[in-house]
């Protein structure tokens, strides 16, 4: 699969919380967790579940960096 987004993070799904319209997907990337909100239709179509290996793709025009 080719994609224009440069920020692709491989990880493993830790938890999927399916709601009526939206679902929350928690992905473990290294020692960090990333939370994605996707449609429940997509979560069901993809049959996402804890333990699945996935790629989190981040396409953003703005990324903040904090140092402190």
Has residue 64 been placed in a domain? no
Per-residue pLDDT of the chain (68 residues; tens, 9 = 90+): 788 888 899 999 999 999 999 999 999 999 999 999 999 999 999 999 999 999 999 988 788 889 99
**Residue 35 in domain:** yes
- 68 in a domain, yes or no? no
Q: 30: exposed, middle or buried (C-beta count within 10 Å: 0-12, 13-18, 19+)?
A: exposed
pLDDT tens readout for residues 3-22: 888 889 999 999 999 999 99
Q: Total structural domains in the chain? A: 1
Radius of gyration of the chain (CA): 13
**Angstrom distances, CA of residue 23 to CA of 30, 33, 50, 66, 67:** 22, 16, 13, 28, 31
Element (H, E) at 42: helix 40-45
- pTM for this predicted structure: 0.86
Range of the domain at 14: 7-57
Please report, for the domain that includes residue 17, its CATH number.
2.40.50.100
């Amino acid at each position: 699969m080719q994609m224009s987004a440069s920020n692709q993070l491989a990880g493993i799904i830790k938890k999927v919380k399916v709601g009526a319209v939206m679902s929350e997907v928690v992905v473990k990337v290294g020692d960090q967790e990333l939370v994605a909100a996707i449609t429940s239709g997509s979560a069901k179509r993809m049959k996402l579940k804890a333990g699945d290996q996935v790629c989190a793709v981040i396409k953003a025009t703005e990324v903040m960096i904090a140092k402190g």
